[in-house]
């Protein structure tokens, strides 16, 4: 059943166009990388600011940019998945990348739900380090997908 769904997606007009249009997939990759660049850059700046104790105004300005970067990366990533669902979903590294993104999201939700930006306690600093490590691992896994 699941394979039939993936085959239907792969046979769709959008998927065929994404694979056959010479610039479509490379442009999606560029958008995906740029989105992650914005996300990772802003998150890195925020996570490092947590260690310095200067966060509130900084985060208020960068959080919308982080979310925009994530949105761009997500949309481009989903479009790349539509282009090659059978190949990508059978790649174990994609699942590792998705798991790392999930863990980074859980860490961010926990961080914000406990008002760590106000507390700036030791746990906030450790969560910032975990955030940096997870997002670097996401980027590494994303590049690794192409080689597996």
pLDDT along the chain (148 residues), means of 10: 89 94 94 95 89 77 92 96 94 97 97 92 96 95 92
Helices (H), the chain: 2-11, 13-20, 24-52, 56-83, 85-89, 92-113, 116-119, 122-144
pLDDT for res 52: 79
Domain count, the chain: 1
Tell the residue number behind the tokens 């590494």, with chain if given.
140
Q: pTM for the complete prediction?
A: 0.87
Which domain, by its residues, includes 117? 2-147
Nearest-5° angle of CA 83, CA 85, CA 87? Answer: 105
SS3 call for 24: helix
25, burial (CB in 10 Å: exposed 0-12, middle 13-18, buried 19+): middle
Q: Are 143 and 102 in contact (CB under 8 A)?
A: no
Residues 6+ positions from 123 with CB-CB distance below 8 Å:
114, 116
What phi and psi, each to the nearest 5 degrees, are found at residue 84? Answer: -140, 55
pLDDT for res 102: 98
């Amino acid at each position: 059943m699941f394979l039939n769904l993936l085959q239907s997606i792969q046979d769709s007009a959008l998927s065929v166009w994404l694979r056959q249009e010479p610039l479509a997939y490379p442009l999606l990759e560029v958008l995906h990388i740029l989105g992650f660049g914005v996300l990772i850059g802003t998150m890195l700046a925020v996570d490092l600011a947590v260690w310095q104790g200067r966060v509130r105004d900084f985060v208020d300005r960068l959080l919308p940019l982080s979310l925009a970067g994530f949105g761009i990366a997500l949309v481009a990533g989903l479009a790349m998945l539509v282009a090659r669902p059978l190949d990508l979903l059978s790649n174990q590294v994609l699942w590792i990348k998705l798991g790392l993104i999930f863990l980074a999201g859980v860490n961010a939700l926990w961080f914000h739900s406990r008002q760590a930006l106000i507390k700036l306690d030791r746990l906030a600093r450790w969560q910032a380090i975990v955030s940096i490590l997870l997002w670097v691992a996401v980027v590494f896994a994303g590049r690794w997908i192409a080689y597996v």
